[in-house]
């Protein structure tokens, strides 16, 4: 279900930020790309432009088609329909080793019998580059990825972070026009993963390399990418900057996939003084802007957990019977509070240092700004 809202000043600012990429030339273009495996459609009619120097994330749940789409770009899979173009050149008939792309695989795919230098040199050797050129470019890649002193080690002698650096060095050594990263951080522990996200993001921006990152982790996509293409069931359903896809989601799928979201069933009530959205649990507020729905229409009300405030007194949106705190969890920067509201669980996430903590069993009222709620007609 698509939500259409009239333009706003904030929305215009976000669109202006996103349109900055449109001023750069397109490095990679996907035109109506589709792929089936037997009776399963993995990729369906995908359209996408990736601009020069941009880091774009393909974001979606497991099985949505993002890795298949990346493999089509790399040349490891042939599309059933559509074209892949790199700087205006059609790649459909071009083998992977001639596509001017570099690939970093999920588990790095390093050759265990080759040293670090041998792994980095592999792509150059496969392209039959002169020996002196191979040595120079391997030296450059080792210096660039801070692998000095590790050139004669084998993958079994490396840490996870070092293995990832070698995989990236191997991909960059061939000096690709487009770098492809397939869940490149997933094999690392949390702290190292976040450290490598920052390090690689800074490196790619310094080098100005056009990059596509496949990930199912929204935090990773937000941390690394300039723009995000959200995928659902093989289709690209929204493309925009991280703030655009988060603050102005175009569908219930994008809303529910990004962040912690409360879904409340409600009904539209038309009044002489304006439209009201009501829930059975006692929440009542004026949608901003109004919803295109008749009186009595069923709606779904989405409110992100960080937009829910709690009060010990009735609020503007919750003046009926209070809810009950079921659970309070400390998560470092935030406290997560689970409230039973008329048989429905509502999630609130508040800054950990905020005063006025609530405890399990306490009676509370919820509150939020009407403009922070997304109201959709219930299909």
Task: For residue 238, give the 3-state DSSP assignment.
Answer: strand
Measured distance CA(294)–CA(268) in Å, rounded: 7
Structure tokens given for 47: 């359209």
Task: For residue 143, give the 3-state DSSP assignment.
Answer: helix
Structure tokens given for 260: 């912690």
Which pTM value belongs to this model?
Answer: 0.86
Q: Summarize the chain as % helix, strand, coil (round to 5).
A: 30, 35, 35
Domains of the chain: 9-256 (3.40.50.300), 260-377 (2.40.50.140)
Structure tokens given for 13: 């600012």
> How many Cβ atoms are within 10 Å of 271's Cβ, its own excluded?
9
Instruction: Determine contact, residues 368/301, Cβ cutoff 8 Å.
Output: no
Beta strands 55-59 and 227-232, pairing class: parallel
The half-sphere exposure of 169 on its side-chain side, counting CA atoms within 13 A, is 31
Encode the chain (379 residues) as per-residue pLDDT tens digits: 333 333 344 444 444 445 566 688 999 999 999 999 999 999 999 999 999 999 999 999 999 999 999 999 999 999 999 999 999 999 999 998 888 999 998 888 899 999 999 999 998 888 888 899 899 999 999 988 889 999 999 999 998 888 988 999 999 998 999 999 998 888 788 888 888 888 889 989 999 999 999 999 999 999 999 999 999 999 999 999 999 999 999 999 999 999 899 999 999 987 656 789 999 888 999 988 888 888 889 999 999 999 999 999 999 999 999 999 999 999 888 899 999 998 889 999 988 877 678 889 999 999 999 989 999 887 6
């Amino acid at each position: 279900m698509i939500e259409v809202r009239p333009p706003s000043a904030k929305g215009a600012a976000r669109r202006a930020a996103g349109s900055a990429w449109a001023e750069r030339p397109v490095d990679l273009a996907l035109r109506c790309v589709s792929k089936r495996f037997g009776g399963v459609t993995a990729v369906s009619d995908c359209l996408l432009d990736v601009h020069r120097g941009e880091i774009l994330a393909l974001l979606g749940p497991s099985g949505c088609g993002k890795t298949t789409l990346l493999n089509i770009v790399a040349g490891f899979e042939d599309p059933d329909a559509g074209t892949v173009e790199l700087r205006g050149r059609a790649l459909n008939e071009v083998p992977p080793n001639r596509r001017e792309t570099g690939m970093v695989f999920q588990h790095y795919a390093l050759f265990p019998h080759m040293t670090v230098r041998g792994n980095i040199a592999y792509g150059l050797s496969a392209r039959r580059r002169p020996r002196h050129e191979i040595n120079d470019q391997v030296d450059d890649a080792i210096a660039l990825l801070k692998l000095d002193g590790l050139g004669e080690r084998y993958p079994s002698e490396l840490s996870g972070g070092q293995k990832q650096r070698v995989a990236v060095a191997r991909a960059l050594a061939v000096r690709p026009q487009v770098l492809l990263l397939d869940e490149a951080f997933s094999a690392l522990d949390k702290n190292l993963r976040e450290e490598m996200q920052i390090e690689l993001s800074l490196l790619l921006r310094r080098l100005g390399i056009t990059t596509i990152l496949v990930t199912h982790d929204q935090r990773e996509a937000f941390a690394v990418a300039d723009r995000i293409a959200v995928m659902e069931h093989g289709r690209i359903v929204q493309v925009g900057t991280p703030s655009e896809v988060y603050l102005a989601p175009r569908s219930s799928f994008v809303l529910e996939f990004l962040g912690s979201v409360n879904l409340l069933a409600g009904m539209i009530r038309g009044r002489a003084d304006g439209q009201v959205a009501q829930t059975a649990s006692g929440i009542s507020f004026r949608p901003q802007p109004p919803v295109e729905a008749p009186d009595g229409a069923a709606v779904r009300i989405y409110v992100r957990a960080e937009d829910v405030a709690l009060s010990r007194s009735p609020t503007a949106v919750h003046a009926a019977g209070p809810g009950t705190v079921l659970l309070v969890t400390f998560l470092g920067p935030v406290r997560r509070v689970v409230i039973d509201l008329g048989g429905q669980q509502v999630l609130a996430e508040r800054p950990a240092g905020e005063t006025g903590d609530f405890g399990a069993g306490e009676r509370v009222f919820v509150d939020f700004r009407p403009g922070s709620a997304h109201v959709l007609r219930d299909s």
